[in-house]
Amino acid sequence: MKNIILKLTWVLSIFFLLVSCNQNQNYSNVDEMVSEAKLTTQDINVEQLMTKIDNGDMILLMDVREPNEFNAGYIPGAVNIPRGVLEFKINNDDFWEEAMLYMPEKDEEIIVYCRKGKRSILAAKTLQQLGFTNVVFLTDGWKKWELTYPLIFEKNLDQLGHDDGGEVGGC
């Protein structure tokens, strides 16, 4: 009887292990995906970010919008890594060398933003999955910054073309 209980326990343990490892979440839309990611990520508002900037805190400010969006206006000191290539550039020595910056440490404070916040939530979750432990996203993104601090931004005028490409990513 004891042998049967042990075998049954072992079989059930293997079953639950296999089931839990094979959970692929399917979403009916991107908002569901963003909502789930938001549960495991932290945020910061523009006033808190401005305080960090004013205090000279050591942060990596990352804009995950597309280059045409970034070049039209961005928060001073931000580095542009579009959401679509984040996984490929974040640990790429050549990218950081070209940007004349050091590759971020896994525990470095990283603040991620996009136009309104959805891409930055997904980017923050991705960075966490890649082992970065001190990542937050900017609530309401660039649009909130632009409304709150309309005179504090930079542009890459030499990078702007005739076709700005419009907003990318739906957020």
Query: Distance of alpha carbon 57 from its chain centroid, rounded?
Result: 19
User: What end-to-end distance do the CA atoms of the chain give, in Å?
Assistant: 60
What is the Cβ-side half-sphere exposure of residue 70, based on CA atoms within 13 angstroms? Answer: 19
C-alpha–C-alpha distance, residues 114 and 90, integer Å: 16
Task: Based on the residue annotation, tell me whether 114 is a catalytic residue of this protein.
Answer: yes
Active-site annotation holder among 44, 64, 114, 171:
114
Contact 167, 69 (CB under 8 A): yes
Cβ(80)–Cβ(106) below 8 Å: no
Strands 79-80 and 110-113: unpaired
**Six-digit token string for 82:** 């579009």
Of 71, 62, 43, 53, the C-alpha closest to 149 is 53
What are the catalytic residues?
114
